[in-house]
Amino acid sequence: MNTILNNKVKHLQLGHIEYKKALEIQEEIFQKTIKTKIENRKNETNILTENYVISCSHPHVYTIGKSGDEKNLLLDKEMIKKKKLDYFKISRGGDITYHGPGQIVVYPIIDLENFFTDIHLYLRKLEEAVINTLEAFKIKSGRIKDHTGVWVNHKSEKAKKICAMGVKSSRWVTMHGLALNVKTDLNYFNNIIPCGINDKTVTSIENELNINLSLKKVEKEIIKNLFKVFKFDSYIN
């Protein structure tokens, strides 16, 4: 347990970045934070652990979690190469999803011992921040039992996922995060069974509103809501 808490969080905007590069940045921060915690315990020191929220977008890529079923990827390796797509098996929870242009991806690398030690509460707060963001754009959304993420028409059998989530936590440090469809080409989801759920569809903010939205505007809104929901104290170098 951290004896001195740090509720300051730095927002890193990476822009449009290759998935592999963003993953390397995540891993570097994640491992550095864990190393600090181990050394604090070993040496009985109180070095503050740092917290980050990364936001970005990626070129076309499919990622699958550690417990995901590769049968939910409907393309073989040759087709992936032919379509100039990337594919990564990664350490988060959840099944398969798509990232691409027009989507906002957020990776909180947070030491939860600075805030609360409850991974389920962490996921619910991520969802709440997205729900509040969508509400700002006049879209009603919510949760579905047993399916992490945020859904439009969530009380209907025709629920559509608008935000996917998958996280990893070690020693209460988080990585990976959420992907919100803003102006995403939804056709790329036809190559997978999104999140391994075959009886639901996906949607985007633009698909729901039928208007052209600025990605930056939505990014600013979701970061604002994350900081508000989690009661993060913003930190600027």
Tokens read off for 153: 């028409």
Give the pLDDT of residue 1. Answer: 67
Q: Residue ranges of the alpha helices (H) in the chain?
A: 19-43, 77-82, 119-136, 205-209, 215-230
- Give the total residue count for the chain: 237
Assign 94 a pLDDT band (cuts: 50, 70, 90).
Answer: confident
- Which are the catalytic amino acids? 195
- Determine how β-strand 147-152 pairs with β-strand 141-144: antiparallel
Assign 120 a pLDDT band (cuts: 50, 70, 90).
Answer: very high
Q: Is the pLDDT of residue 116 over 70?
A: yes
| Element of type H or E holding 180 | strand 173-181
The answer as to CATH 3.60.140.10 being correct for domain 8-129+164-200 is no
Q: Is the pLDDT of residue 107 over 50?
A: yes
Give the pLDDT of residue 237. Answer: 43
Percent of the chain whose pLDDT exceeds 70:
97
Q: Is the pLDDT of residue 235 over 70?
A: no
Boundaries of every domain in the chain: 8-129+164-200
Cα separation, 73 vs 86, in Å, equals 12
Q: Tokens 């570097």 — which residue?
A: 28
Non-local (6+) Cβ contacts of 126 within 8 A are 108, 165, 167, 177, 178, 226
Q: Is 96 helix (H, G, I), strand (E, B) or coil?
A: strand
Name the pTM for this structure. Answer: 0.94
Higher pLDDT pick, 95 / 34 = 34
How many Cα atoms occupy the beta-carbon half-sphere of 24 within 13 Å?
A: 5
